[in-house]
Amino acid sequence: MARPTVQDVARTAGVSVGTVSRVLNGSSAVSASAKEKVNAAIKELSYRPLASARDLRRDRTMRVLALAKNLDSLVISEVFRGVGDAAADSGYVSLIAATDGDRDREQQLVDMLRNGSVDGLVIFSPTMPDDDVNTVAEQLSVVQVCEIVDAEAAFGVSIDDRQAAYDITKHLINTGAKKLAMLAHRGARSGQLREEGFRQALTEEGLEPDTILLGEGNFGFHAGRELTKKLLEAKDLPDAIFCGTDVVAAGCVRELTDAGLRVPQDIAVAGFDDSAQAEMCVPELTTVRQPAYEMGRVAFAELLERMTVEGAHRKGRTFLPHQLVIRDSTK
């Protein structure tokens, strides 16, 4: 048989559709006997309210969408776990989609917000230009997390990337480094902030801002190796390298080790994110821990406010505290 409707349930239970709906939603009082009959009919027909009909009438979906370029990262999956848990607490379902850095794909997914397929959007790493983020955020329920572009209207949750980079650079200097290098991710907003923090720490200590190598595109293990290889071609080597992510740091350590250098005795290395790779690396990486799960939760909380409170387009950023994790890759 075709999918049963509320009409079928009403007929089977011998009541009206109104009553069925009231049982379904507990919206107002229904006699015990009617409730029983309706529930029996629902079970008998294994009836489920059709989402599209319900959404149409209610004008909301109780769904949110989380976007990122890719999903293969502990930070992202933890952030989205936080979003998912917080969403569930409020009766929402959170869905995830990867854009693969494809503008059209991303556009299509943002359109899901425009056309009411979902009630809100969490953006991790946008592909679209900053202005577009801003335009979307002006009218719709959007919150950014981790990677936050300069958008007037957009709200965002992240750590203070500049400060965190500053802190870890200070740590490197405190352990005796005099000549520092950085492998930074051009293109990622957070990468630029981390670069700023790095520079600031050096300036304050009166050290010359040394080599900063910029990786573009896929900023991963191989990029870490390649950039480090370039670094090793220089005459005088740095005595500490700050890498924009742990995976890049892992590549860096690997390249140094292969070149016969000892980490941290010859060169200290620090990463960022405290991802799984930080512990898997030999030596284990000094890094910055982001409270990813918590960031996800906070991001959803903000989104919820935007979705439910009329005109609650509070702007600005929320910073959550980061944490320095000192391990063996710096002495």
Q: Which does 93 bind (CB under 5 to 8 A by kind): its own copies, DNA, none?
A: its own copies
The DSSP result for 28-93, as a single string, is S---HHHHHHHHHHHHHHT----HHHHHHHHT--SEEEEEES---SHHHHHHHHHHHHHHHHTT-E
- Residues across the chain: 331
Q: Name the E strands within the chain.
A: 63-68, 93-98, 120-123, 142-145, 155-159, 180-185, 212-215, 240-243, 268-270, 287-289, 316-320, 323-325
Does position 26 interact with DNA (CB under 7 A)? The reply is no
Does position 11 interact with its own copies (CB under 8 A)? The reply is no
Q: Sign of dihedral through CA atoms 189, 192, 194, 200? A: negative
Of the ranges 26-34, 181-189, 195-203, 321-329, which one interacts with DNA (CB under 7 A)?
26-34
**Residue 291 has what DSSP assignment?**
-
Q: From the CB of 223, what's the least distance to its own copies, in Å?
A: 13
Q: Which does 40 bind (CB under 5 to 8 A by kind): its own copies, DNA, none?
A: none
Q: From the CB of 233, what's the least distance to its own copies, in Å?
A: 23
Does position 59 interact with DNA (CB under 7 A)? The reply is yes
Does position 19 interact with DNA (CB under 7 A)? The reply is yes
Give the relative orientation of helices 32-45 and 6-13 as an angle to the nearest 10 degrees: 120
Write out the binding residues for its own copies, residues 37-66 only, by CB under 8 A: 48-53, 55-56, 61, 63, 65
Of the ranges 14-22, 212-220, 235-243, 322-330, which one interacts with DNA (CB under 7 A)?
14-22
Q: From the CB of 295, what's the least distance to DNA, in Å?
A: 33
Q: Which does 94 bind (CB under 5 to 8 A by kind): its own copies, DNA, none?
A: its own copies
Burial class (CB in 10 A: 0-12, 13-18, 19+), 300: buried
The DSSP result for 184-202, as a single string, is EETT-HHHHHHHHHHHHHH
Q: From the CB of 173, what's the least distance to its own copies, in Å?
A: 28
Q: Which residues bind its own copies (CB under 8 A)?
A: 3, 48-53, 55-56, 61, 63, 65, 70-74, 76-77, 80-81, 84, 88, 93-98, 100, 105, 108-109, 111-112, 114-117, 220-221, 247, 250-251, 254, 257, 276-277, 279-282
